[in-house]
Amino acid sequence: MASRTVVGQSIDKLDGPALVTGQAVYTDDFTLPGMLFDRILWSPRAHARIRAIDTAAAECLPGVRLILHYGNVPRVAYTTAGQGFPEPSPYDSFIFDQKVRFVGDRVAAVFADNLIAAQEAVGLIQVEYEDLPAIFEPEEATQPNAPIIHDEEEIRGAFDPRHNLVSQLDLKIGDVEQSLAQATYRAEGTWITPYAQHVPMETHIVISYLDEWGRLVLRSSTQVPFHARRIIARLLDLPIQKIRVIKPRVGGGFGGKQEILLEDLCALATLRTRRPARIELSRKEEFVSARQMHPMKVQVRLGADSGGQLQAMEMRVLANTGAYGTHGSTVFFNTGSKTLPLYNKAPNVRFVGDVVYTNLPVAGAYRGYGATEGYFALECAIDQLAAKMGMDPLLLRRKNHIREGETSPIFIKLGEGREGVEQTVQSCGLDRCIELGMKAFQWDERRKKPRRIGPDRARGVGMSILMQGSSIPQVDMAAASLRMAEDGSFHLFLGATDIGTGSDTILAQIAAETIGVSTDRFTVYSSDTDFSPFDKGAYASSTTYLTGQAVYKAAFAVRNQILGIAGLWFKVEPGTLEIRQGVVFNQQGARLTLEEIGYRSYYLADQQQIEASASALSQASPPPFSAHFAEIEIDLETGIVRPLDYVVAVDCGVAINPELAKGQVLGSLMNGIGFALSEELLLSSRGVALNPNFLDYKIPTSLDLPRIEIIPVETNEPTGPYGAKSVGEICINGPLPTLANAIFDATGIQMKEAPFTAERVWRALKRNE
């Protein structure tokens, strides 16, 4: 491996100086004369038909310019999921429908000269509802005679909407029942996860206006600008040519902005009034009417032989997608496809489940994408099995986990709502993650210590191992364009969507390394559908891995163009030249700066634009791997659990920017700790959110931070740019099983319902008395 000067360096984020000084970089840091402001009327009913809607009083209010509702917008079935075309999510949504399907569904939107008028007008809209029987429990959705939530005739792509089924699957490899019957050791249980929200600090926001050609411009806080453009074009029957989507800096996404939630309304307002328009969700609206993590019940059954070899694995999933099926089947498939291959030696595997509609808030994509729920169940079941065998759970995992050069039948059987792609794991540092993690954590030493540390206090240790993927193989494409200016600086145009992850910086590092320059020559522009080449967007842990490949190809082509011009200058074969630190050297050591090459190619001789575009389609989804270790302290009287120490060893291939990779690990870890300790959107028996605010939906703060150690475990992924794999999602999956296993170690009790609130733990302890 040639020595690298840019890749592997923790250079500062290129957009960092703007961010730390509070420059006007987000969607809302921008205003236009005549802009209309929007407030939305949300359904107070869980399931109802709108008999009549009367907007007369609201329209009379001074400053009110437009009120949209089912009666005056196009009726086109679509999915809000920002996925590749054709989307694997069902077309079960409308801009507005005559039916509302959850408390928080859209009923109408008011656009006015100011927010106050818009808000007041919302209160003046009279709606007559005809209540319909509603479904609040996922188990009830598939019962005979259950109300049909999606009875619209336009629905497409749902498995069986007459029975409220978005997706259903029964995948069998071998014979699980027989194998379980013969197994020496068995473990089983059902693990439950609730609604949880992404909580980006910047809520969903869109500003729309018409440009000087009368084209529609959408400035949106989105993870998927190109999917947004395509979906809006279809919804509003506009040519794609007439739409431009600009993604400024985004204040966090975590999957929640892989959705087209507001763009349609803003666009309609601008098209109808010819005025700029703006919609921003309040925090409460974000909690209720944006998207959630899928609540799931995941039953796992495991069987092992006397030596601890896993023989059978079964995972049964009941996933609640809420009122709309966005990301329903794909999240569900990932619950199996991102977890079961971890234990690839089991010959008998079954993955079975239902994804159902309910009259509850809408689940969608959330960092981890179903694997979070799957790992909670699988990794807790592994600990149960180890306990039954009297074996160290770490050893049980070592006996069974996947290794380099191996494959799993799951890879080919389970894809994104369809069949997957065969692949062999070409880089796997999981064994080293376990080894280094256990040493740093002092796993053996800590396990020898007494569990009881006081009359009402105990401690415990737990671990888990994880894998995820990097991109969706043979589905998603990414492209990059790279151009050199005459001063030897570069513009990198990306459709990839930096939502705070640092991907602009990482991709510039890949380009800089490839050419042989430093990143301070780079201006990265992402994303603008008018100027950026296509990219699927920020999801599926794909940007570094997949867009990185496109950037590498484009940069390699630009490098060759530079060398070609230098070759003409030196009158030698370009292959004999090299670029080091922005200077081309020939074999005699003569130098030519990129600036000299730039001026020559722009103005002087052999004139041409030094520029290249390239695209990449991923052929595989190489998994990153991780091992998590934690020690908790538990107050046996109150049930309060506190994580004390947390060690993460993570293999993301080669970390292009180690400090940014560490940030991904830490951020996903704290989110996962939130899932484990407190995060849960509570709903009344009538489907009303009880805690849609920061007072009662508690996300971790700096004071909740345990002692954390992150151990990078480098591997070289041959298919990735400079050996890189992904790191954005994997670690969110760790805290649920790791902390549950630590509670199990401390008390002998398996917490099977998240979050492990003090009251829940107290009840479990009491039951056990």
State which of positions 684-723 bind another protein (CB under 8 A): 684, 690-691, 693-696, 698-705, 708
Work out which of 283, 446, 447, 457 binds another protein, going by CB under 8 A: 283
Residue whose tokens read 């656009």: 111
**Residues 654 and 716: beta-carbon distance below 8 Å:** yes
Nearest to 422 by CA among 433, 411, 414, 406: 411
**Angstrom distances, CA of residue 45 to CA of 101, 104, 171:** 8, 8, 37
Q: Across 24-84, where does the E strand assignment appear?
A: 36-42, 48-54, 64-69
Q: Which is nearer to another protein, 337 or 527 (CB)?
A: 527
User: Nearest approach, Cβ of 535 to another protein (angstroms)?
Assistant: 18
Work out which of 12, 59, 578, 714 binds another protein, going by CB under 8 A: 12
Annotate each residue in 221-240 with x if it binds another protein (CB under 8 A) or - if it does not, as one string.
Answer: --------------------
Binding segment for another protein (CB under 8 A), chosen from 157-165, 186-194, 197-205, 564-572, is 197-205
Work out which of 678, 715, 747, 750 binds another protein, going by CB under 8 A: 678
Q: Which is nearer to another protein, 116 or 412 (CB)?
A: 116
Work out which of 138, 255, 667, 735 binds another protein, going by CB under 8 A: 667
User: Nearest approach, Cβ of 55 to another protein (angstroms)?
Assistant: 21
How are beta strands 106-112 and 36-42 bridged, if at all?
antiparallel
Q: Which is nearer to another protein, 241 or 701 (CB)?
A: 701
- Regarding 8 and contact with another protein (CB under 8 A), the answer is no
- Regarding 18 and contact with another protein (CB under 8 A), the answer is yes
Work out which of 663, 712, 723, 734 binds another protein, going by CB under 8 A: 663
**Residues 373 and 428: beta-carbon distance below 8 Å:** no
Binding segment for another protein (CB under 8 A), chosen from 334-342, 493-501, 562-570, 743-751, is 493-501
Work out which of 1, 33, 85, 201 binds another protein, going by CB under 8 A: 201
- Regarding 251 and contact with another protein (CB under 8 A), the answer is yes
- Regarding 501 and contact with another protein (CB under 8 A), the answer is yes
**Residues 376 and 193: beta-carbon distance below 8 Å:** yes
Structural tokens at position 581: 């630190």
> Which helix (H) or strand (E) segment is 626 a member of?
strand 625-635
User: Nearest approach, Cβ of 532 to another protein (angstroms)?
Assistant: 19
> Which helix (H) or strand (E) segment is 494 a member of?
strand 490-494
Work out which of 54, 682, 686, 748 binds another protein, going by CB under 8 A: 682
Binding segment for another protein (CB under 8 A), chosen from 9-17, 172-180, 182-190, 524-532, is 9-17
Looking at residues 341 to 380 of the shown chain, list those that interact with another protein (rule: CB under 8 A): none
Annotate each residue in 305-324 with x if it binds another protein (CB under 8 A) or - if it does not, as one string.
Answer: --------------------
Work out which of 106, 278, 397, 662 binds another protein, going by CB under 8 A: 662
Work out which of 25, 155, 233, 617 binds another protein, going by CB under 8 A: 25
- Regarding 677 and contact with another protein (CB under 8 A), the answer is yes
Q: Which is nearer to another protein, 640 or 749 (CB)?
A: 640
Sheet holding 452-454, edge to edge: 452-454, 457-467, 625-635, 641-651, 707-712
Measured CA to CA, the distance from residue 660 to residue 710 in angstroms comes to 12
Measured CA to CA, the distance from residue 434 to residue 457 in angstroms comes to 28
Work out which of 203, 299, 408, 464 binds another protein, going by CB under 8 A: 203
- Regarding 52 and contact with another protein (CB under 8 A), the answer is no
User: Nearest approach, Cβ of 612 to another protein (angstroms)?
Assistant: 30
**Angstrom distances, CA of residue 490 to CA of 91, 520, 559, 580, 614:** 42, 9, 12, 16, 15
Nearest to 668 by CA among 656, 652, 654, 682: 652
Annotate each residue in 620-649 with x if it binds another protein (CB under 8 A) or - if it does not, as one string.
Answer: -----------------xx-x---------
User: Nearest approach, Cβ of 476 to another protein (angstroms)?
Assistant: 23
Q: Which is nearer to another protein, 306 or 701 (CB)?
A: 701
Measured CA to CA, the distance from residue 436 to residue 486 in angstroms comes to 48
Structural tokens at position 276: 């700029």
Binding segment for another protein (CB under 8 A), chosen from 66-74, 425-433, 598-606, 756-764, is 756-764
Q: Which is nearer to another protein, 101 or 257 (CB)?
A: 257
**Residues 682 and 691: beta-carbon distance below 8 Å:** yes
Binding segment for another protein (CB under 8 A), chosen from 36-44, 210-218, 277-285, 533-541, is 277-285
**Residues 377 and 739: beta-carbon distance below 8 Å:** no
Q: Which is nearer to another protein, 605 or 703 (CB)?
A: 703
Which residues are within 8 A (CB) of 86 and not within 5 positions of it... i.e. 6 or more apart? Answer: none
Measured CA to CA, the distance from residue 753 to residue 765 in angstroms comes to 14
User: Nearest approach, Cβ of 534 to another protein (angstroms)?
Assistant: 23
- Regarding 113 and contact with another protein (CB under 8 A), the answer is no
**Angstrom distances, CA of residue 161 to CA of 158, 362, 628:** 6, 16, 40
Q: What is the DSSP letter of 581?
A: T
Q: What is the DSSP letter of 436?
A: H
Q: Which is nearer to another protein, 19 or 412 (CB)?
A: 19
Work out which of 26, 525, 534, 599 binds another protein, going by CB under 8 A: 26
Looking at residues 456 to 475 of the shown chain, list those that interact with another protein (rule: CB under 8 A): none
Q: How many chain residues bind another protein (CB under 8 A)?
A: 76
Nearest to 666 by CA among 713, 723, 730: 730
Work out which of 534, 556, 599, 762 binds another protein, going by CB under 8 A: 762
Measured CA to CA, the distance from residue 653 to residue 538 in angstroms comes to 19
Binding segment for another protein (CB under 8 A), chosen from 394-402, 583-591, 595-603, 660-668, is 660-668
**Angstrom distances, CA of residue 176 to CA of 190, 307, 401, 408, 658:** 17, 18, 19, 16, 42
- Regarding 608 and contact with another protein (CB under 8 A), the answer is no
Q: Which is nearer to another protein, 1 or 695 (CB)?
A: 695
Work out which of 148, 436, 666, 749 binds another protein, going by CB under 8 A: 666
| DSSP result, 135-174 | --SHHHHTSTTPPPS---TT-BS-SBGGGTEEEEEEEEES
**Residues 169 and 385: beta-carbon distance below 8 Å:** no
Nearest to 496 by CA among 523, 522, 532, 471: 532
User: Nearest approach, Cβ of 248 to another protein (angstroms)?
Assistant: 11
